[in-house]
Structure 1
Amino acid sequence: MTATPLSYPFWTDHGLGVSTGYAPLRGGPLTRVRLPYGDEAWLATDYEDVRAVLSDGRFSLGEALRRDHPRIDPMPRAGGGLIALDAPRHTHLRTLLAREFTARRMEGLRARIAEVADGLLDRIEDAGSPADLVEDLSFPLPMTLICELVGVPAADVPSVRAWADVICSGSETPEALEQRGKDFFTRMHGWIEERRLAPADDLLTLLVRAHDDGSLTEDELTGLLGELLIAGFVTTTNQIANFFAVLLLPGEAGGDGTEWLTTLRSRPELIPRAVEELLRYVPLLNGLTLPRYALEDVELSGTLVREGEAVLVSQAAANHDPAVFPNPDRLVLDRPGAAHISFGHGIHYCLGAHLARLELQITLERVTTRLPGLRLAVPEEELRWRSREFFSGLRALPVAW
């Protein structure tokens, strides 16, 4: 055990590499860390340890709601959705939604995803070079699709993005966050009442009916709705831009800035495998995951985690564990072997993983097809990276073709 807890997260302010802070921790016991707010915690970084914590029912996500959990901002986590629950309640609520996100159901959206992507690329081509792949593609594509699935009125789609910007920045004051949250949830309650009066073929109608027949509480209804909207586009938005940053930047992932896109354009059958490798390679969450609390004493890699102690896992570090992924800091488009854990593991595995995969695959295919010669439109040193926020990535990605 470290005598003094390490300061965490290991922030990186530039690029998409995994922090060097994880390297000394590999292969040993868990590490004691302290975030800016809340309890101290154990940190798991090795692939097998992270999988164990994510899948072991003795580690509780819901318990964090009752404790001063470790976090980067002063506001404690709110409850209501799937990420606030453990089995069996989590299982009940997830079952309500799971059939709407099966691989077969999501595959039925392939044509619509391609249609949205092509519509956005039409605008990019019409406007001419340069374009911003963040603002012109990676934000509107997944946001449009999740808002359609949920049933958000078109006029209110900008409010969803605005709320996502607030909660993901980590820089709002508690007072501002509370007020903005009240404003957004007031708007959300308006959608709920509209669906009671005029049901439709969307997720909002499904949730309203589940609430009205007693399957969901009011807090669970709004919590699930908020999670669907934010998780349904924010992660994919960041990863679309991150993927192209990796593929375009000289030196990233061992490439030369052109070879990856050239390979994918000439061999589109590689795209599904390439998406999985990019999901492994890119550390989306800056090492931050929600804490889990031990419900009893649990031994993990020689560390006794006592009942009531918090454990954080770094999926980014686990995805770069050299014991599992040889030469982990190099991109291998058709990498064989173990699966990444970017979508999680166990009962909290990402509900929208099939949708995200399709969006990423189709976007990669359509861009490489329609924007030949894609390249950065500004010098690399002019790129603006997100700093000390929940998600890694770029604020803008200017490109030419």
Structure 2
Amino acid sequence: MDDDLPAFPLPPASGLAPAADFARRRAECPFGRVRLPSGDSAILLVRHADVAAAVSSPALSRNHLLAQAPRRSGEPNFLYDPDLLINQSAPAHATVHRIATQAMNHERVAAHRPVIHRIADALVDTMTDDGRPGGDLVAEYTDRLPLLTITRLLGIPAEDCDDIRRWSGAYTHSHPGTPQERARLVADFGAYVRDVVTAAPRAALLADLVHPPDTGVRLSTDELVSLTRLMLSAGVEAPATVLGRAMLRLLADDAADWRTFVRRGTDPLAMADELLRLVYAGNVAALRTATTDLVLPSGTVSRGAAVLLAWISALHDPAVYPRPEALLPGRRAPKFVGFGGGRHYCPGRRLGRAILAVGLDRLRARLPGLRLATDGPIPIAEREVGAVVTTLPVRW
């Protein structure tokens, strides 16, 4: 164990700000090592130049099951699922990734936007129809919109959504429970998803996965189960996390940024992209293992070594983003690194951006007077998918 190394995750800052030590490490220690919860060590990449070079390099593997791969934590979690896409061999990964990317390409996501729009409006209707002056924006909107969107596109009934959240929370360790309880819930999750993908698919997204157009290749049932389970877990939790953090950022400081968004009619996709940069994930980093030596701007990663890609530090690097703490929709900036790169570029990135953009747009149209309903601190929980805003009391 490397007990003398700084522990990662780094001590979080208050609110949505990046951990304070990221800025110091960018200036003084951009290639330093840290100790993971498992006791293993990794090089922490904090500068944009290093993260951007690392994220698309074939020399860095996301496979957590490699013999030489350090462990993130001492307790198993979904990242160590042998059926998970990132843990597949190159040929199998390429097939699944290609079909998933095609199913969520620009044209398909454009066709899904009206579905997101209708779900968002229905959620606002539910929030406001009884005449209440306010409520919890996380429980009633930011958590529900990604969940209802993904399940609707996969043909899963709305009445099963609470089960999906409980199962996915066990799968990703986002919710507490004993290992035995989680194992039972994960098994139930797998059985449910298997029934979904083996039924005759009628929902648009599931049909595109089961019967991909323009290719003679078909995924096996096990591959479909793994991909669908990932979409229903991390694929729901990631946009929910970002949307909750985004709304807290917009409504903070007496909702000054929210009022500007409403008054100027800012393009919601431009706002979504800037908020992704500004509040993405929180105090987490992606773990990679070097399969060959890799030269990065700040140093050389030796074969077998682990690196951590600190997204929020890279996305707040003042060498790339002048005034990084400012919310500047439409700013000229490099391609967003948080979606990964190369063969691991996130196939659901367009759908996630669409959920965030439509979610922001419908709240602006329907509830332009949104304000926080508390002067106290907003609770934020550190989880595997990032720092999650767990409740957001608002008035409208």
**TM-score with structure 1 setting the length:** 0.88
Aligned position for 2:386: 391
Name the CA distance, whole Å, in 2 between partners of 1:106 and 1:136: 24
CA offsets per residue over residues 25-46 of structure 1, 9 Å max, x none?
1155411111111531111111
Report the 3-state secondary structure (helix = DSSP H, G, I; strand = E; otherwise coil) of the residue aligned with 1:386: strand
Q: Which amino acid aligns with 1:200?
A: R
**Is the Cα–Cα contact under 8 Å of residues 34 and 70 in structure 1 kept in the other structure?**
no
Aligned position for 1:336: 332
Root-mean-square deviation over aligned CA pairs: 2.5
CA offsets per residue over residues 165-222 of structure 1, 9 Å max, x none?
23242744433322221122122223234x1xx3424444555568xx9844454232
Greater Cα offset, 368-377 or 166-175: 166-175
CA offsets per residue over residues 209-260 of structure 1, 9 Å max, x none?
68xx98444542321111121233211111112111001111xxxxxx3321
1:143 to 144, 147, 163: 147
Structure 2 counterparts to residues 153-192 of structure 1, below 5 A: 153-166=157-170, 167-169=172-174, 171-192=176-197
**Is the Cα–Cα contact under 8 Å of residues 13 and 387 in structure 1 kept in the other structure?**
no
Name the CA distance, whole Å, in 2 between partners of 1:294 and 1:200: 42
Aligned position for 1:129: 133
Q: CA deviation at 1:385?
A: 1.8
2:261 to 260, 264, 289: 264
Report the 3-state secondary structure (helix = DSSP H, G, I; strand = E; otherwise coil) of the residue aligned with 1:21: helix
Structure 1 gaps of 5+ residues are 251-256
**Is the Cα–Cα contact under 8 Å of residues 298 and 306 in structure 1 kept in the other structure?**
yes
**Is the Cα–Cα contact under 8 Å of residues 48 and 317 in structure 2 kept in the other structure?**
yes
Asked if 1:59 is matched to 2:54, the reply is no
Aligned position for 2:284: 287
Q: Cα 1:229–1:38, aligned 2, differ >3 Å: closer, same or farther?
A: farther
Asked if 1:277 is matched to 2:277, the reply is no
What's the % identity of the aligned pairs? 32
Asked if 1:107 is matched to 2:114, the reply is no
**Is the Cα–Cα contact under 8 Å of residues 274 and 330 in structure 2 kept in the other structure?**
yes
**Is the Cα–Cα contact under 8 Å of residues 288 and 307 in structure 2 kept in the other structure?**
yes
Name the CA distance, whole Å, in 2 between partners of 1:13 and 1:220: 39
Q: CA deviation at 1:302?
A: 4.6
Structure 2 gaps of 5+ residues are none
Q: Cα 1:69–1:150, aligned 2, differ >3 Å: closer, same or farther?
A: farther
Q: Cα 1:13–1:24, aligned 2, differ >3 Å: closer, same or farther?
A: closer
Name the CA distance, whole Å, in 1 between partners of 2:64 and 2:371: 47
Report the 3-state secondary structure (helix = DSSP H, G, I; strand = E; otherwise coil) of the residue aligned with 1:342: helix
**Is the Cα–Cα contact under 8 Å of residues 55 and 337 in structure 2 kept in the other structure?**
no
1:98 to 78, 97, 101: 101
Q: Cα 1:105–1:199, aligned 2, differ >3 Å: closer, same or farther?
A: closer
**Is the Cα–Cα contact under 8 Å of residues 288 and 314 in structure 1 kept in the other structure?**
yes
Report the 3-state secondary structure (helix = DSSP H, G, I; strand = E; otherwise coil) of the residue aligned with 2:338: coil
Structure 2 counterparts to residues 1-400 of structure 1, below 5 A: 4-12=4-12, 14-27=14-27, 28-37=29-38, 39-62=40-63, 64-67=65-68, 69-72=70-73, 74-75=75-76, 77-85=80-88, 87-127=90-130, 128-166=132-170, 167-169=172-174, 171-193=176-198, 195=199, 198-208=200-210, 215-250=218-253, 257-289=254-286, 291-381=287-377, 383-387=378-382, 390-400=385-395
Q: Cα 1:73–1:330, aligned 2, differ >3 Å: closer, same or farther?
A: farther
Q: Cα 1:63–1:358, aligned 2, differ >3 Å: closer, same or farther?
A: closer
Q: CA deviation at 1:263?
A: 1.7
**Is the Cα–Cα contact under 8 Å of residues 69 and 306 in structure 2 kept in the other structure?**
no
Q: Which amino acid aligns with 1:26?
A: R
**Is the Cα–Cα contact under 8 Å of residues 284 and 391 in structure 1 kept in the other structure?**
yes
**TM-score with structure 2 setting the length:** 0.89
Q: Cα 1:304–1:171, aligned 2, differ >3 Å: closer, same or farther?
A: farther
Q: CA deviation at 1:373?
A: 1.9
Q: Which amino acid aligns with 2:252?
A: L
Name the CA distance, whole Å, in 2 between partners of 1:141 and 1:184: 20
Name the CA distance, whole Å, in 2 between partners of 1:207 and 1:110: 18
Report the 3-state secondary structure (helix = DSSP H, G, I; strand = E; otherwise coil) of the residue aligned with 1:317: helix
Q: Which amino acid aligns with 1:179?
A: R
Q: Cα 1:329–1:43, aligned 2, differ >3 Å: closer, same or farther?
A: same
Name the CA distance, whole Å, in 2 between partners of 1:226 and 1:65: 22
